[in-house]
Amino acid sequence: MPPRTRSANPDDEPQVEPHAIPLPDVEVDNSVTSDANDNSAPNLAEAITLMTQELKRRDTAPSGSSGANAKKPDTFDGSDPKKLNNFILLCNLFFRNNSAYSDDEAKVTFALSYLRGLALDYFEPYLADSDNYPDWLEDWSAFIRVLRTQFGPIDPTADAEDGLDNLKMRDNHRIIKYNVDFNRLAIQTGWDDSVLRHRYYSGLAERIKDIIGQVGKPATLTELKTLAHSIDARHWERLREKSRADKSNQSNKSDKKPPNSGNQSSSQSHNNNKPQQNKPHSPNDKSKSSSGSASAKSSSISDNLTKDGKLTQQERQRRVANNLCLYCGGVGHKADACNKNNSSAAKAKGRAAKTETPSTSTPAESSASGKA
């Protein structure tokens, strides 16, 4: 090997620790010219740097893997046949990125460790008999067939066809969910592009069909999916625009006051504070009020009189006990000095009332009535 050429500037030369990386033996062609020898130094340094980076990447990668971390599958208990395909898919993705599961026996052992419930109970008797291990224990494809036979759908193709017939996208759903369900079922049916295209269009939401009817239906399933996805995206974008516009209008209305609102409020408050004017009463109103008061008075007097026009015993005792006028029931005078007793008939009634002194009256009351 020719001697290594040192650059003029030592700082420009890549620093490599001696004996850090064992270099493979390289055969050197003696026919290479001196110019080629001069150009080989930078290429060799670059190769050493790349080798160092690769070794560091392998050192940091998990043991038994190729450097990429794949998600481990969820456990499978055999209760839902629809989850079996997802379990097998995640197992294959994990095996693809982990070199430790290169042989079928390791794959089957890994999958068995993620079985639970009824699925694990099915395989447990085969694993307990160490003298007669089944063939599928060392054959991943055979193990998958056993899983599908025992815990998968009985007729996956018929189930997928029935699922496509009943698949429908609603107006309030996004098309991504419809596409995922459609693709999952379409792969299992084996239908050609024209049949799947018709079935895909039939299950779309009506709002998307209306737009497709205006622009025309594409000739392939891929183009139809692209068009439907674009229409759906614009639909939700337009809804967001309307929502923002409505919020903006509501905020503007709340900030602006209606015109003359202040004058109206002040006039209303002024009217509320102004005393109400008394309306002139008509003669009918006066007659109604007078007749009403007269009827009230007559009813009150009749309650205190007997059938023959005399004071009741209870009313007489009340007026005598309270020193009230026996004629009008007023205070501060007697029946003979009552102003209301101005007619001869009234005076006669007053004298008759005085003569009828109750047995329960006091001597003072009797003398007062005698004087009268």
Stretch 192-199: mean pLDDT: 93
Residue at 299 is within a domain: no
| Residue 133 forms part of a structural domain | yes
DSSP state of 137: G
Last residue of a domain, which of 221, 238, 255?
A: 238
Q: What is the total count of domains within the chain?
A: 4
141-150, 190-199, 222-231, 360-369: range with lowest mean pLDDT? 360-369
Pick the most confident of 152-166, 298-312, 351-365: 152-166
* Last-in-domain residue among 189, 223, 238: 238
Q: Tens of pLDDT along 225-284?
A: 999 999 999 999 999 999 988 888 887 777 665 655 555 555 555 555 555 555 555 555
Is residue 273 in a domain? no
Q: Within this chain, do residues 161 and 234 fall inside the same structural domain, yes or no?
A: yes
- Per-residue HEC secondary structure of 42-55 comes to HHHHHHHHHHHHHH
CA torsion 97→101→104→108, rounded to 10°?
A: -100
What pLDDT is stored for residue 54 in this prediction? 58
The range of the structural domain enclosing residue 56 comes to 10-60
Average pLDDT, the chain: 74
Same domain, 226 and 161: yes
Residue 233 lies in a domain: yes
Residue type, 359: S
Domain boundary among 98, 125, 152: 152
- pLDDT, tens digit (0-9, with 9 covering 90-100), for 85-134: 899 999 999 998 888 898 999 999 999 999 999 999 999 998 887 778 88
Q: 340 with 358, same domain?
A: yes
Verify that 174 and 225 share a domain, yes or no.
Answer: yes
